[in-house]
Amino acid sequence: MARHEVALQGREEIAEGTMAFRFAKPAGFDFKPGQSVNVALLEPPADPNSTRRTLSLASAPFEGDLMVATRMREGSAFKRALKALPLGSHVRLVGPAGTMTLHEDPARAAVFIAGGIGITPFRSMLLQAEHDRLGHRLFLAYSNRRRDQAAFLAELQALERRNDRFRLLSLMTDTDGMLNEERLGGIVADAVKPVYYLAGPPAMVQAMKAILTRNGVGGDDVRSEEFFGY
Ligand SMILES: Cc1cc2nc3c(=O)[nH]c(=O)nc-3n(C[C@H](O)[C@H](O)[C@H](O)COP(=O)(O)OP(=O)(O)OC[C@H]3O[C@@H](n4cnc5c(N)ncnc54)[C@H](O)[C@@H]3O)c2cc1C
């Protein structure tokens, strides 16, 4: 798999306890929206489990930089080291990798279901779909505990206003309750032959898969990524 040493160009807090990191995109670095990279620190902390993490590319291919985003919470040693890295320092990216990319048939809708920071692959897919003027109908159910924790929400709401092929259901579980069968049914009611894409904490992905299975949806119509550690 390809390896690139890339410079950290910027970092910002994009939601409460959530940071985005931008890296210079190497010449010829091609990826598909939805793919991830393995980010390796060149001078990792002593903790043996802190050298690398797999992170989805939240940036879209048409954008100039590569961006990843992660919840810091109390922060693993890897995340603390990434946060402390001086701008201009290098990390090694291995990849891109991953097969959770948008299906080709525009007659089939895409239903994205994101729990928290599981939004990262979908931001890339949604922005690139708009850029490429894809014909797919796109639905996103995006759940967070609270609004201040919902990364990219304002940008996604603006995208919904611009793009009438895209519909967003954003849910704050502290006040609205969990994403359940009824709410999901509401958002997908007019999704034609949908392909489902799930990303987020393993418990959330499993719960959504169980709902889909109960409704006879499975096989290649459900594609998922579990973000371990959440
Ligand atoms: C394809 C993919 C894309 C991802 N994209 C993102 C992203 O965009 N943003 C983001 O924040 N996170 C993403 N993750 C999750 C990320 O790799 C980290 O696991 C997560 O951020 C937690 O890291 P941490 O350093 O805080 O926790 P850690 O200290 O690493 O704790 C993680 C916990 O998960 C367990 N774990 C790790 N890997 C596995 C595994 N394969 N099976 C079972 N348990 C395991 C560890 O044992 C540990 O208990 C992605 C994961 C995958 C697989």
Q: Which fold has domain 3-97?
A: Elongation Factor Tu (Ef-tu); domain 3 (2.40.30)
Residue 45, SS3? coil
The string of pLDDT tens digits covering residues 192-224 is 999 999 999 999 999 999 999 999 999 999 999
pLDDT of res. 8:
98
The pTM assigned to this predicted structure is: 0.95
CATH fold match for the domains 3-97 and 110-226: no
| Atom 9 of ligand 1, residue of closest alpha carbon | 70
Instruction: Using the mean position of ligand 1's atoms as its centre, give its distance from the Cα of residue 226 in Å.
Output: 8
**Ligand 1 first shell, C-beta below 6 A:** 36, 53-56, 68-71, 76, 78-79, 98, 117, 120, 225, 227-229
85-100 average pLDDT score: 97
Q: Give CA angle at 23 (38, 30), nearest 5°.
A: 65
Domain boundaries, the chain: 3-97, 110-226
pLDDT of res. 187:
85
Sheet strands (E) in the chain = 3-15, 18-24, 36-41, 52-56, 65-71, 90-97, 110-115, 138-144, 166-172, 195-200, 222-226
| Atom 14 of ligand 1, residue of closest alpha carbon | 227
**What's the pLDDT band for 137 if we cut at 50, 70, 90?**
very high
The string of pLDDT tens digits covering residues 71-84 is 997 779 999 999 99
| Atom 11 of ligand 1, residue of closest alpha carbon | 70
Q: Give CA angle at 105 (61, 219), nearest 5°.
A: 100
First vs last Cα of the chain: how many Å apart? Answer: 27
Q: Which residues have C-beta within 8 Å of that of residue 168, sequence separation ≥ 6?
A: 140, 142, 156, 157, 159, 160
| Atom 10 of ligand 1, residue of closest alpha carbon | 70
166-172 β-sheet, strand order = 166-172, 138-144, 110-115, 195-200, 222-226
Name the CATH architecture for the domain at 110-226. 3-Layer(aba) Sandwich (3.40)
116-139 average pLDDT score: 98
